[in-house]
Amino acid sequence: MWHGRGKTAIAGIGYSEITRRPQKPLGLLAVDACRAAIADAGLEPERIDGLATYPESPFAGAGNRDGEDVVSVAFILNHLGLASDVRWYAQIETGMIASPVIESVNALLAGACDYVLVWRALHRPAPRGSAGVGRGAPRAAGDAQFIAPYGAASIVQTHALAWQRYMYRYGATREALAALALNSRRNANLNPRAFFYSTPMTREDYFNARPIAEPLCLFDCDVPVDGCVALIITTAERARDLRNPPAYLAGYGQNTARRRTLLYYTLDDYMACGGSLARKLWSSAGLGPRDMDAAQLYDGFNPSTLYWLEAAGFCGAGEGADFVRDGRIALAGELPINTFGGSLSEGRMHGMGHIAEAVRQVTDRAERRQIAGASAVCAIDGSPMLRGSGIVVTRDP
């Protein structure tokens, strides 16, 4: 069990507008979210002395203009009106959004700072090409030279290949993905911050959706948006004096599994890498899948959620397609999944929305989505691949 269990906590959450037609540049949306998180914790900006983010662009070939395509530590330092002597910062280039959360927790335990602001800002570039296929440079460099000339130019296609393999191996059908997508949309319809808050989805809507990469359709892909989510993290002692009940950090895991050199990830890679992360996560927290009152599982592409159910031990290999049926993952079910709508229906925040919702659930702040008595919730980001990461938050330290 991790020695830092219960010694730090998330004490503030802030959202900007989540939209596909922003009236502000990304940098100002990030400032909005950061200010909202600071205010939510009951702090003044001058109290923030630590900063952390994961600023990577959302896909290869996207722009890298600070304040427009990404939002760096330097941008927030220059635009948020923080104390002039910020003591610590981290700008993480590997892992996913849980990685700067983990770095912040360790900085707090080491006494490097008192209050850390963590944010993730996402930009939706103007679409080019068809359904995102063919974006980026016209030349195929590196590994892409072996697959792009044959039409495999989009990450959606590599996810589709893995899902094809899953269907063949276990006899699953698109009904499993429909169950996941419909569950996320129902939950998003209860989340006023979600992009699809006011847009219901029916089973017919899902099956009539435009195909993207067989057998994945439009609603199997997260919805690209402009927006930002921010968190305030501090020590447990300081958090208890702030405005909101704290969500204690019980444990974390990062994926460092070895992987042979391949042109793209396969189904076997997802399971091996996801299992590696899950073992670290449960060992760190001293808790397991059966202790979770809900699970916020990454869904940048719909099958990833199903892979996580299996890789993290919520069900056995090949059982995920049956697990998600018959209301088992609904708010009133055995294991509520992505209770805020996930990336599929809240918007593509690269896992930050998952962490924010885990915090809301264990602090009784999830509004109409609240699971009564939720005491432990995991948030796992990234598809089950080499760079994923995750945390467990609890109601009690």
SS3 content of the chain, % helix, strand, coil (to 5): 35, 20, 45
Superfamily of structural domain 8-126+224-394: Thiolase/Chalcone synthase (3.40.47.10)
Place of tokens 């003044």: 44
User: Per-residue pLDDT for 299 more than 50?
Assistant: yes
Q: How many residues does the chain have?
A: 397
**Backbone dihedral region of 18: left (phi > 0), alpha (psi from -120 to 50 degrees) or beta?**
beta
User: Per-residue pLDDT for 295 more than 90?
Assistant: yes
Which residues lie below 8 Å from residue 288, measured CB to CB, with a gap of 6+?
282, 313
Q: What's the pLDDT at 128?
A: 54
Domain edges within the chain: 8-126+224-394
Q: What's the pLDDT at 82?
A: 87
Residue of 22, 375, 337, 370 whose CA lies nearest to 195:
22
Record the tokens describing residue 288, joined without a space: 């397991």
Q: What does the pLDDT look like over 354-367, one tens digit per residue?
A: 999 999 999 999 99
Q: What does the pLDDT look like over 125-176, one tens digit per residue?
A: 766 544 444 445 567 777 778 888 888 778 899 899 999 999 999 999 999 9
- For the entire predicted model, the pTM comes to 0.94
For 234-289, give the DSSP string: EEHHHHTTSSS--EEEEEEEE--------SS--HHHHHHHHHHHHHHHHHHHT--G
Residue 269: pLDDT band by 50, 70, 90 thresholds?
A: confident
Q: What does the pLDDT look like over 44-79, one tens digit per residue?
A: 999 999 999 998 776 666 678 999 999 999 999 999
**Torsion, CA 275, CA 280, CA 284, CA 286, rounded to 10:** 30
d(CA 274, CA 182): 24
Whether the bond between 336 and the residue before it is cis, its omega within 30 degrees of 0, is no
Residue of 117, 113, 125 whose CA lies nearest to 87:
113
Q: Any idea which of 21-30, 196-205, 268-277, 325-334 has the lowest mean pLDDT?
A: 268-277
